[in-house]
Structure 1
C-alpha cells in the first residue's frame, strides 16, 4: 500500500518535471512566446493543459486511482501559479505576470510552495476517507479535546485573573512585534544619509517598546502563575475529597503510590495545560498574525518564501508530537510505578531489612528505572532527528531568502534595515509557528494525565450513599440478618454465608473461632467499610446506610489490633476527628484507658510527638492511645478487635474492667484468647463464614461442641508451652 502510493506520487512528479523540461528546452530553441496582453490567459491555459495531462497520469498510474489526495496535489501543483499571479495582478494592479514558462529554479520553487500548501491543507483538514481509516485515532483526539475543554471549565472561577493575563499578554506581544521594525529603522538611520532626528526617534521608540514588552510580560507571567496556583489548589482539593469518599475496596485495587502521583504530578500537569499552554498558544497566535502583517508591509515576496517554510516545519513538528504523545503517556505510567514502589519500600523498610530483601528491592527499582531510561532514550533519539531536519529546512529557506533579499535591495524595493527587520521577524515567526504546533499537541498530551484524574473525580463509591438519620437517642442494638458477603478482590469466595446474629445493648458479645472464620469481616461490615451482597446489617432496626456518616462513626468506635496513629501530639491523636475537644476530656479518656500514667512520664506529656505512624511508642502504648481515642467519643457501640493483645497482663486486666463495665454500652470483642471472653455475656463461635454455635461460656462448654474442643486444644497448647519453658529454665 505504501509502495504503491510512493510510486504514484513519484510518477506524477517525474511527468511534471518532464513537461517543464520540454517546455523550457523549447523556449531556449524557439524563443519565448509573445504573450503581451494575454499573459494571464496563457498562464491559465498552460495550467489547465498541464492539469489535464497530470490528472490523467494520476488516474492511470498504479495506486493512483484510489487516492483523492494525489488528485488534489496535482490541482495545486498546476493551478496555484495562475491563481497567485491573478491575485497579485488584482491587488497590485500589475499589467502582466512573469514568464508563462519560468526557468527551472522558479519552477522548483513553485512546486515546493504548492506541495507545502497542499500538505498543510491535508494535515489541517483531513478528508472523510482518512478520518474513516483512522477512526480510532480521531476518536481519541476528540476525547482529548473534550477533556481539555473540561479543564478549561474548571478554570472559570479564575476568569478575572485569566482575563487580565490575556490583556497584558496582548500588550506585551504588540510591543515585541515593533522592536525588530524599529531596529531596522535604526540601521537605516545610520546609513549613508544619516539623520540625527530620525536616529533618535527610532532609538526612543525601540526603547519604549522594549520597556513595555518587559513590563507587560512580567505582569502576564504573574497573573498566569496566580491562576495556575488557584487551579491546582482547587483540583487537588476536589480529588482528595473524592478519594476519601471511596469505599475501602477502591484502595485495595489502587496502590497508594499511584494515587499520590495522580494527586501531585497529574493535577499539576492539568494546570499547566491551561495556565501555561494556553498562554503560549494565545501569545503565538497574536504574534504570528501581527508579524505576518508587518512582514507583508516590508516585502510580500519574502513573506511568500517564508510561508513555504512554515508548513514544512508544521509537518515535522506534528509528526514529532504524535510520536512523543504516546511516549509521554508511557513515561508518566513509569514515573507513577517508580514512585509507588519507592514509597512502599521506604514505608516498610523494617520488613525489608528483617527479611534481607534490600538487594531484591534494589533490583526491582532498577528494572523500573531501566524501563524509564529506555523510553527517554527513544524520545531523545527522535528529538535529535527532528531537530536536525528542522534546522536543515530553516537554514535552506534562510539562504534562499537572503539571496533574494539582496536582489530586492539592489533593485531598490527594500532597504538594508528592512531586510534586517524581516530576518528578525522571520526567525521569530518560525519559532512561534513551531510553538503553535507543539502546544496544540502538548495540550492534548497533557490532558492524558487529566483523564486519570477525571476518572477518579467521576467515580461513584460502590456502596450505598449515607442517609441523614441522626437520632438524639440511640439504643445500640446491632443485628445481622442473613448476611452474605464476599470481598471485591475475591467475589466468588464468600467470607460470610447467611450470617444472622444480634448484639444487645448493655452487654458484651464476643466473636471467637479460628482464623478466617469471618470475625473481621463482621467488624468491617459494622464499620461500613464494605456492603453485604445479600442481607442487611441493622442498627436499632434500621440499615446502617440510613444514618449520617459522621453520626454513625461518633456512636460506633473501633479499636483494632494494629491501630494507626498519626504524626503529631498524643493529645491530637486522642482527639482525632473531634472539634473543640478539651484537654480535660482527653485526660479522662486516657485515665479510663490506663494511658494517663505513662503519658505523664513522657517529657512533654500530652504534647509529646508520637512520630511517624506512632513509632516513638511501644505496641502496647499505641493500643492504649487507640482505646483512649475510642473512649473520648463516649460511643454507644464499642468494637474491640484484639485491642489488648499487645499489653501486659496487669494492663489487660485493668483495661477489661474499664471497658466491659460501661452500663448501656454495646461491646463487641473479637479475640483468639478464650480467657479474654470467658466473662462475656454472649459468645458467638464462627467458622468458615457461618455461625456454628452461640451462648454463654458455661452453655457452650456444656455442649462440648466446637467451642469446647477449641478450649481444650488451647489448654493443651498452653500446658506444652509451660512444660517446655520449665525445661528450658531448668537446663
Structure 2
C-alpha cells in the first residue's frame, strides 16, 4: 500500500516538474519573439510570426515528450493551438486593419500569453468534443450514425406528404428572401434621412419595406399551415403503423412490457417524432438559407466585419455540443420517468376497485407523487442546464456585438462604411448570430430528437416470437387435437417449467374435462391451444397439422374460448357478439344468443342488441356478461370450443340450457376446465393434471374406482 502511494506521489511530482518546465520554456520563447526587431514589410513580418510559432510548437512538444513520455492527442492539440494562435491573431489584424494587433510588441506579453492560453484550451476542447479519438468517441460516432439512419428513415416515412413539404419549402424560401431585405432597406431609410433628403427615394424605400414585410408574413403563414398538415398526417400514419405492429406481438411481449410504456410510445413519442423532425427540418432550411443570404449581404457591406463576426462560430459550436450532450441524457431519463408515471396512473385507474377495497388510496397517491417528484427533479436539472447554456450563449453574443461596434466605429471614421451601412450590418449581425447558434442547436437536436423515433421503430420492426404467418385453411376440419410431449415455461419465468412431457388427445364429439389443483397447468394448456405462446419442446397438432401451419384468422374462428371472467368492449351487445367477424347476419347473432340463454334478457332491453354495454361491460351483470361471451364464441361455429369454468356465474336454469345447446353439436371438440362435480361427471374424458403432467385419465366412474388422486380430490370437495 505504501509503495503504491509512493509511486503515485512520484508520478504527480514528475508531471508537475514537466508542466513547470514547459511553461518556463514557452514564456522564454514568447518573450524572445516579442523582443525581436520587427522586420520591414508585411510579408517579412508575417514570416517572422509563423517561424516563431513553429519554433514554440516544436519546443513545447519536445519538452512534453521528455517529461511525460507518450502524450495524449488532446495535449498535442492544446500545444498546437497555443503555439499558433498568436500568429493567427496577428496575421488577421495585419490583413484586416493594416495595423499592429492588440498583442503586438508594445502590449503586455503576460496578458497576451494568458489570453492565447485560454483561447487555445477552448479551441482544443472544441476539437476534442467534435472530433474525439478515444474509444468513447468511436461509440459516440456510431450512435450519431445510428441517429442519422433513423432520421433518414423518418424522412422516408414522410413520402406521402412530400407535396406538402415541397410547398412548405417553397413558401419558406420566399419568406426568408423577403425577410432578408428588410434590414437592407432600413439602412437605406437611415442614410436618406441622414443625408440629402429625397422624397422619391424615401417613398420607394418605404414601399419596398412594406412589400417585403407583407410577403414575408404571408409566406410564413402558408409555410406553417402546410407543414402542420404534413405533421398531422405523418403522426396519424405512424400511430396506426405502431398500433398494428403492437397488436401482432405475442402475449409474452405484453407481460414483459409495461402498459404505461406502450401508451407513452403511442401518445408521446409518435407526436414528438413527427413534430420535432419536421419542424427542425423547417427551421434548419429556413435558418441556413437566411444565413447564407445575410452573409452575402454583409460581405457587400463590409467583408472585414463579416469575417470578425464569423469568428464566433467555433465558440458557439463548442457551447452547443456540450449542451446537447447533457440535455440529451436528461431528456432520455425524462422520457423513462414519464413512462413510469403514466404506468402508475393507468394501473390505479384500471384497478380502482382493488385499490378501494384495500384502502390503498393514500399509498397509490404517494407512489404517483414519488414518480412526479422524479420527473420534477429531472426537469429542474434540465432547466438549470438550459439556463446556463442560454446565459453562456448570450454572453458570447454580447461580447461579439461589443467587438463589432468597436471596429465599426473605426471603419466609419476611416470612411470604409456609412452610418446606415453599419445599422444594416448590426441588424444582420444580430440575426446571423442567432441563426448560427440556431443551426448548431438544430443539427444536434435533430439527431437527438430521433431518440424517440428509435423506440417507435424498435416496436414497429419487432417480429413476434409466435408467428401468425401460417396459410393452412382446410375446407373441412374435424377438430382432433393432440398435445405431444409438450414442455413449456413462461417467458417471464423461464426457469420454472409449467408443463413437462405433457401428452393428451382431444377427440371430436367428445367432452374432455381438465381437473387438478390450481397452478398445475390447466390454463396453460388453453393458452398453448390458443397459440398465445410457443412450447419450448413438443408440438400441438390440429387434424394432424401443427397449429403454426394454420392461418391466424382461420384458427381463431375454428378454436374459440370462453373465459371465467369474460372481457367485453365498449360498444353495443351486437358489436361484442360479432367481435372480430366481418360479416354476420342478425339471425346468426340471435341463434347464438339463444344457445347461450342470452336472447331473452337482451330483448327486454330498450335498444335490444344495440344496447351499449359500457366500458368493460360495466352496464351488465356478471351472469349477463358470461352469456354474451358464450354467444360470442358460439356465433363463430367453432370446431374446438374451450370453456374455462363458465358456469360459475350462471344459475341452474341458464347452466342447463347452455349445456343442452352445447350437446347439440355432436361433432364439436369440447375442452372444459371445471371445478363443479356436476359438470365434471358429464365429461367423456377426465384428465387430472399434476406437476405439469397427465397424472390420471378416464371417466368419472373409472377414476373413482382407481381410488387415486382424483378420488381424493372429489372426496375433499364433498367434505368442503
TM (normalized to structure 1)? Answer: 0.89
Using the TM superposition, give the Cα deviation of residue 340 of structure 1 relative to its aligned residue in structure 2, in angstroms: 0.9
**Residue 692 of structure 2 corresponds to which residue in structure 1?**
689
2:487 to 469, 484, 487: 484
Matched residue, 2:127? 122
The answer to whether residue 85 in structure 2 is matched with residue 80 in structure 1 is no
1:3-30 deviation per Cα after TM superposition (whole angstroms, max 9, x unaligned)? 9999999998998788777777x69xxx
SS of residue matched to 2:308: helix
After superposition, where does 1:436-515 map in structure 2 within 5 Å?
A: 436-515=439-518
Q: Does residue 1:412 correspond to 2:420, yes or no?
A: no
- Corresponding residue for 2:224? 221
Bigger Cα displacement from structure 2, 235-244 vs 4-13: 4-13
Alpha-carbon distance in structure 2 between the residues aligned to 1:101 and 1:701: 110
Aligned counterpart in structure 1 of residue 79 of structure 2, from 59, 68, 71: 71
Q: Distance in 1 between matches of 2:93 and 2:407?
A: 19
Q: Identify which of 142, 156, 162 aligns with 1:139.
A: 142
Q: Please give the secondary structure, in 2, of the residue aligned with 1:669.
A: strand
Provide the C-alpha distance between the structure 2 equivalents of 1:511 and 1:239, rounded to a whole number of angstroms: 38
Provide Cα deviations, 1:581-617, integer angstroms capped at 9, x if missing partner: 2222212211111111211222322111111111111
User: How has the CA–CA distance of structure 1 residues 55 and 291 changed in structure 2, closer, same or farther, with 3 Å as cutoff?
Assistant: farther
Q: CA deviation at 1:105?
A: 9.6
Residue of structure 1 equivalent to 2:314: 311
Q: Is the 8 A contact 2:178 2:215 kept in 1?
A: yes
What's the counterpart of residue 524 of structure 2?
521
Among 396, 402, 405, which residue is 1:402 paired with? 405
Q: Which moved more, 1:549-558 or 1:393-402?
A: 393-402
Structure 1 CA distance for aligned equivalents of residues 136 and 649 of structure 2 = 66
Alignment of 1:600 onto 2:608: no
d(CA) in 2 for partners of 1:436, 1:2: 43
**Paired residue secondary structure (1:645):** helix
**Separation (CA, whole Å) in 2 of partners of 1:395 and 1:596:** 80
Per-residue deviation at 1:111? 5.1
1:560 deviates by: 0.3
The CA deviation string for residues 520-579 of structure 1, in whole angstroms up to 9 with x for no partner, is: 111111100011111111111111111100001111111000111001111101111111
Contact 2:626 2:649 in 1 (8 A): yes
Whether the aligned pair in 2 keeps the contact of 1:58 and 1:70 (CA below 8 Å) is: no
Structure-2 change in CA distance of 1:7 and 1:47 (3 Å):
farther
Q: Name the counterpart of 1:230.
A: 233
Distance change (3 Å), C-alpha of 1:703 and 1:162 = same
For residues 215-237 of structure 1, the C-alpha deviation after alignment (integer angstroms, 9 at most, x for no partner) is: 22122222222222222222222
Q: Deviation per CA, 1:95-132, whole angstroms, max 9, x where unpaired?
A: x76579476499969959975994597268625xx244
Q: Is the 8 A contact 1:175 1:213 kept in 2?
A: yes
2:646 counterpart SS class: coil
DSSP-derived class of the 2:508 partner: coil
Q: Could you tell me whether the CA contact under 8 Å between 1:508 and 1:660 is conserved in 2?
A: no
- Match for residue 581 of structure 2 among 562, 578, 581: 578
Deviations 1:405-455 (A, max 9, x none): 222222222122211111111111111112112112212221212222222
* 1:426 counterpart (426, 429, 451): 429
Gaps of 5+ in 2: 1-10
> What secondary structure does 1:468 align onto?
coil
- 1:253 has 2:269 as partner: no
Q: Distance in 2 between matches of 1:575 and 1:392?
A: 67
Tell me what 2:642 maps to: 639
- Give the match for residue 629 of structure 1: 632
Measure, in 1, the Cα distance between the counterparts of 2:651 and 2:557.
Answer: 29
Deviations 1:225-260 (A, max 9, x none): 222222222222221111111111111001112111
CA distance in 2, matches of 1:3, 1:386: 37
Q: Deviations 1:463-497 (Å, cap 9, x if unpaired)?
A: 24431110111111111112221111222222112
Which residue of 2 is the match for residue 615 of structure 1?
A: 618
- Residue pair 2:57, 2:80 contacting (<8 A) in 1 also: no
Is 1:650 matched with 2:630? no
Residue 383 of structure 1: aligned partner: 386
Asked if the contact 1:257–1:337 (Cα under 8 Å) also holds between the matched residues in 2, the reply is: yes
CA distance in 2, matches of 1:569, 1:317: 56
Check whether the contact 1:12–1:54 (CA below 8 A) recurs between aligned residues.
no
Aligned residues: 702
Distance 1:666 1:226, change over 3 A: same
Q: Which residue of structure 2 aligns with residue 722 of structure 1?
A: none
Cα deviation 1:146-180 (Å, max 9, x = unaligned): 22222223223333322222222222212111111
Q: Secondary structure, in 3 states, of the residue corresponding to 2:509?
A: coil
CA spacing shift, 1:591–1:7, aligned 2, 3 Å = farther
Relative to structure 1, the CA distance from residue 351 to residue 8 in structure 2 (aligned partners, 3 Å threshold; closer, same or farther) is farther
Equivalent residue for 2:213? Answer: 210
Tell me how far apart the structure 2 counterparts of residues 402 and 640 of structure 1 sit (CA, whole Å): 85
1:114 and 1:611 mapped to 2: Cα distance? 69
Q: Distance in 2 between matches of 1:445 and 1:203?
A: 43
Q: Secondary structure at the match of 1:276?
A: helix
SS of aligned partner of 1:698 = helix
Residue 169 in structure 1 maps to residue 177 in structure 2: no
Instruction: Report which stretch shifted further, 311-320 or 564-573.
Output: 311-320
- Which TM-score applies when normalising by structure 2? 0.91
Q: 1:724 is matched with which residue?
A: none
